[in-house]
Amino acid sequence: MNIIKEKDSTKDILTQLRGKMLQNSNKISTNFPHFTEGNHYSYRNDGFWTTGFWPALNLLAYQYYKDDLFLKTFQDCSNHLIKLLDREDILDHDIGFIYIPTFLGHYKLFGDAQSKEIALKAADMLKNRFNSKGKFIRAWNDWEDDTADFREEKKGKVIIDSLMNIPLLFWASEQTKNDDYFIVAKEHAETVMNYIVREDFSTYHTFNFDHVTGTPKKGKTQQGYADESCWSRGQAWGIYGFALVYQYTKEVKFLEMSMKLADYFIERLPEDSVPSWDFDAVENNNIKDSSAAAIAASGLLLVSELEKSEKERYYLKALEIINSLCSEYLSCESDFEALLRKGCSDLPRGAGIESGIIYGDYFFLEALVKLNNVKSFFER
């Protein structure tokens, strides 16, 4: 069934989703959903990289629907995020995922001075993670259950997801007229391009450098099937992330890279246009990741906006993915809390498999509202 033949029909889907989101907003309130267990979201309030997506989903919903409840939920959650900003031990490079679609978004919508200050503080924390020898932003902090080897490895680790965090730096550079933010973000993006992207335009999830000398070492996976496989959500972050870097830098090599990654992603999509959690998974390759599809669709919409000659091809592919998500993955029933079914958070750790996932919901809604002239908080 083709629900979205034209972009106008996304309005019907958005109307259907509104009731569910209002109900969730009331019920979930100041908790921070991660992925569903059974019909309900489990919560993570501890500063995990996903912490911002619930308030962000509400802010995005407010932007489109204008219901006060969405804004109230965003505001009620914001104190937790403000306090979290003092926890440099917890916050890592994913500070962008937390503060871009929340405080930066709020600043963009309302011009609120406190939100701007918070987003700038987050940008400083991100900039301070730059390793100038290797020209990369360190991804993760120490975790409680780390082995000594992994703790050492993480000092020089870069991950593809980071491309979604650096718009915070590009924005901060424009706001403060301080080029340092821009230089760090651009050099980091170049490092990701040179080492995380393979020759065939598939991607590693992570890449290790010697953190003292900056010497490149090797690609490794964390959430994918194998070091040499292509984790589909990572590829989706790359499509969207490089397009964002192009939007801020205007350097065409970043848009070309986004398109190469997009072509790889599109080429490997199955019939229903929603990828397996890893394109190369030998075991569990029937397990889908609807969040990867949603992120890629939203990224492809940006590519189609920025690209001249192949605009329509990327736009139609984005619609095809959104159409499949709407026909086969959408959950409008009131007892299942997430908007999308069948995301895959972290298969190697057995976390959030065939579940609704908060960032899948976020980027799905983002793609739908973008089709209706609402701007993404990540975009310039």
278 near ligand GLY, rule: CB under 6 A: no
The least CB distance from residue 225 to ligand GLY, in Å, is: 14
Residue 160-199 contact track with ligand GLY, rule CB under 6 A, x = bound: -x--------------------------------------
The least CB distance from residue 228 to ligand GLY, in Å, is: 19
User: Is the distance from CB of 380 to CB of 170 less than 8 angstroms?
Assistant: yes
List, in sequence order, every residue forming a beta bridge with 40; answer none if it has no partner: 37
Catalytic residue list contains 161: yes
Residue 144-163 contact track with ligand GLY, rule CB under 6 A, x = bound: -----------------x--
49 near ligand GLY, rule: CB under 6 A: yes
366 near ligand GLY, rule: CB under 6 A: no
Active-site residue among 67, 89, 94, 280?
Answer: 94
The least CB distance from residue 162 to ligand GLY, in Å, is: 9
Which of 307, 301, 293, 292 has the alpha carbon at shortest distance from 373?
301
Count of residues engaged in binding ligand GLY, rule: CB under 6 A: 4
User: Is the distance from CB of 206 to CB of 348 less than 8 angstroms?
Assistant: no
Could you say which of 129, 233, 341, 342 contacts ligand GLY (CB under 6 A)?
233
| Closer of 35 and 248 to ligand GLY (Cβ) | 35
List, in sequence order, every residue forming a beta bridge with 330; answer none if it has no partner: 340
| Closer of 161 and 278 to ligand GLY (Cβ) | 161
Which of 136, 281, 278 has the alpha carbon at shortest distance from 211?
136
Which of 273, 56, 278 has the alpha carbon at shortest distance from 164?
56
Angle between helices 358-370 and 10-28 (to 10 degrees): 140
The least CB distance from residue 347 to ligand GLY, in Å, is: 10
Which of 235, 246, 334 has the alpha carbon at shortest distance from 291?
235
The least CB distance from residue 223 to ligand GLY, in Å, is: 6
The least CB distance from residue 363 to ligand GLY, in Å, is: 11
| Closer of 49 and 74 to ligand GLY (Cβ) | 49
User: Is the distance from CB of 10 to CB of 371 less than 8 angstroms?
Assistant: yes
| Closer of 161 and 366 to ligand GLY (Cβ) | 161
Distance CA(292)–CA(225), nearest Å, equals 15
Closest residue to ligand GLY: CB criterion: 161
| Closer of 73 and 258 to ligand GLY (Cβ) | 258
Distance CA(93)–CA(35), nearest Å, equals 21
Catalytic residue list contains 179: no
What is the Cα 346 distance to its own chain's centre?
A: 15
129 near ligand GLY, rule: CB under 6 A: no
User: Is the distance from CB of 156 to CB of 220 less than 8 angstroms?
Assistant: no
223 near ligand GLY, rule: CB under 6 A: yes
The least CB distance from residue 35 to ligand GLY, in Å, is: 10
Residues with catalytic annotation? 94, 161
Binding residues for ligand GLY (CB under 6 A):
49, 161, 223, 233
